[in-house]
Structure 1
Amino acid sequence: MFYNDASNWGNPAEWREEKVALKATAEVMELPFEMETFIIMIDELKNDSAALNIIWENTVASLRFEVPTEEKAMASIEKTMNGPGAGDYFAAATYYHDAKKDLEQAYEWVNKSLEMGNPNAFWILRRKSLIAADLGKKEEAIAAAKKSLAEAEKAGNQDYVKMNKDSLKEWGVM
């Protein structure tokens, strides 16, 4: 049970059913080893689900849950596409790419984002390179990654520098 009043320690002195936010049943399994530290973690992350795992001693209680990502994202995308800006096109392209939806549409949107906004935005160029690569447009992927790399170096963003170098190496350029 998940109680929406966390001002107490342990069980409430006076149980109030209206403060129960959620009741769920977890799958309980025995571990083949002992876990000395009490651990709560969210695992098995997916676009629309995950598992809340509670581990202690030789037991794990796993509670799977779902979130309405598809419904929320699609409603947001549809609303935004009625008057989108560069950031909206980028966000929609990113979602479509990550969700492995219509990659041609994602590619169109990422290009629209670059046209409407900063054509040197290394993070948008990076996404364009990944979408192009997934579409089999290797030359366009390499060109976008090289431009993203140059802009990331100029901005001093070492994370994007490394990601672009890794992709270019994977694509046989470096």
Structure 2
Amino acid sequence: MLLKNRTTLLAGTALAGAILFSAPAAQAQLSTPAASPKSTVQQRVGLTDVTITYSRPSAKGRTVFGTLVPFGRRWRTGANQTTTIKFSDEVTVEGKKVPAGEYGIYTIPNKTEWLVVLNKDTKRGADVENFKDDQDVARFSIKPYKVPSKVETFTINFTDITPATANVDMQWELTGAKFKVTSDVEPKVMAQIDEKVVKNANPSANDLAAAAVYYFDNNKDQKQALEWIQKANANDPKFWNVHTEAKIRMKMKDYKGAVTSAEQSRKLALDAKNADYVKMNEDLIVEAKKVGKL
């Protein structure tokens, strides 16, 4: 009986030891910082969301283009996995129509020109030798430029942003290269204006004002813009909307009307303690009186 109990005790001790020594294998692996950390940048271009995901290698004293990234060879445009770009709607990239979707950005840098390829394959990574050209959705050439100061870590940003365009700007070490993304805003906005303002028997003040601003900003029918903004201001004038009316009248060369609207907007802005709009209205009044010789 004693021998049996001792055997059971030894077996239990051995089992506990096995569990103890095997425990680290069940734990999570050691986590350390990535040499080329992953990054995501996003920008709304017009009404389209553009998202770029890429890994960011650093120069670390090396010459990048022509050495670390050889000229004339396809590059995944970053490190680790292929850099990707995703469009929520159809866009135009350097004059090429690109459907909504996610694509790999592959580049072939050269000293005086880069070839940029958007391809359906987003998983190619470092294996660019077996690249399939029939998966291309767009390819175009861009000119590299010298950056004003050294960029240690590969960086992609959105620059030169307008209501309908943005540049995708890639910089590393002393070199930059960028390409333009254009969102087809006009038909989308005009369709909304038609639905919410033109065909709506009782459009909201916000929609009327938004339509007027769009017409003003894009040099469309200013008489129509004035009609809409006047309706928006009829019952509950806001200082920013009345200022829009003043700008529309200014563009229409109705300088007396511009002064009247700007004075009303200035008073509303003073009541709201908004110094920026007070100043903008005062500047507009001075300009209208000067140009209109009032």
- Scaled by the length of structure 1, the TM-score of the pair is 0.80
1:48 pairs with 2:164: yes
Q: Is the 8 A contact 1:28 1:59 kept in 2?
A: no
1:31 pairs with 2:146: yes
* Residues 97-136 of structure 1: CA deviation (Å, up to 9, x unaligned): 0111111111111111112x413x1011000000000000
1:138 pairs with 2:255: yes
Structure 2: 5+ residue runs without aligned partners? 1-39, 41-50, 57-78, 87-100, 106-115, 117-140
Change (3 A) 1:77 1:59: same
Q: Is the 8 A contact 1:35 1:55 kept in 2?
A: no
* Residues 19-51 of structure 1: CA deviation (Å, up to 9, x unaligned): 981345272413174334655443333332221
Q: Is the 8 A contact 1:47 1:99 kept in 2?
A: no
1:68 pairs with 2:184: yes
Aligned length: 165
User: 118, 131, 151: which one pairs with 2:236?
Assistant: 118
Structure 1: 5+ residue runs without aligned partners? none
1:171 pairs with 2:288: yes
Query: Quick one: distance in 2 between partners of 1:146 and 1:37?
Result: 52
1:21 maps to amino acid: E
Alignment of 1:153-168 (within 5 A): 153-168=270-285
Name the larger-Rg structure. 2
1:88 pairs with 2:204: no
User: 258, 269, 285: which one pairs with 1:152?
Assistant: 269
Query: Quick one: distance in 1 between partners of 2:165 and 2:188?
Result: 14
Query: Quick one: distance in 1 between partners of 2:104 and 2:287?
Result: 47
Q: Is the 8 A contact 2:269 2:277 kept in 1?
A: yes
- Three-state SS of the structure 2 residue aligned to 1:64 is strand
Change (3 A) 1:23 1:102: farther
1:72 maps to amino acid: K
2:271 maps to amino acid: K
* Residues 132-167 of structure 1: CA deviation (Å, up to 9, x unaligned): 000000000010001100100100111111111121
**Alpha-carbon distance, 1:85 to partner:** 1.5
Query: Quick one: distance in 2 between partners of 1:41 and 1:5?
Result: 9
* Residues 70-94 of structure 1: CA deviation (Å, up to 9, x unaligned): 0211111111022211111101000
- Three-state SS of the structure 2 residue aligned to 1:156 is coil
Query: Quick one: distance in 2 between partners of 1:37 and 1:158?
Result: 42
Change (3 A) 1:142 1:63: same
- Three-state SS of the structure 2 residue aligned to 1:133 is helix
Query: Quick one: distance in 2 between partners of 1:33 and 1:92?
Result: 41
Q: Is the 8 A contact 2:229 2:241 kept in 1?
A: yes
Change (3 A) 1:5 1:160: closer
2:218 aligns to what?
A: 99
Larger strand proportion, structure 1 or 2?
2
Q: Is the 8 A contact 2:147 2:176 kept in 1?
A: no
1:11 pairs with 2:127: no
- Scaled by the length of structure 2, the TM-score of the pair is 0.50
Query: Quick one: distance in 2 between partners of 1:35 and 1:5?
Result: 22
2:29 aligns to what?
A: none
Larger helix proportion, structure 1 or 2?
1
Query: Quick one: distance in 1 between partners of 2:178 and 2:230?
Result: 42
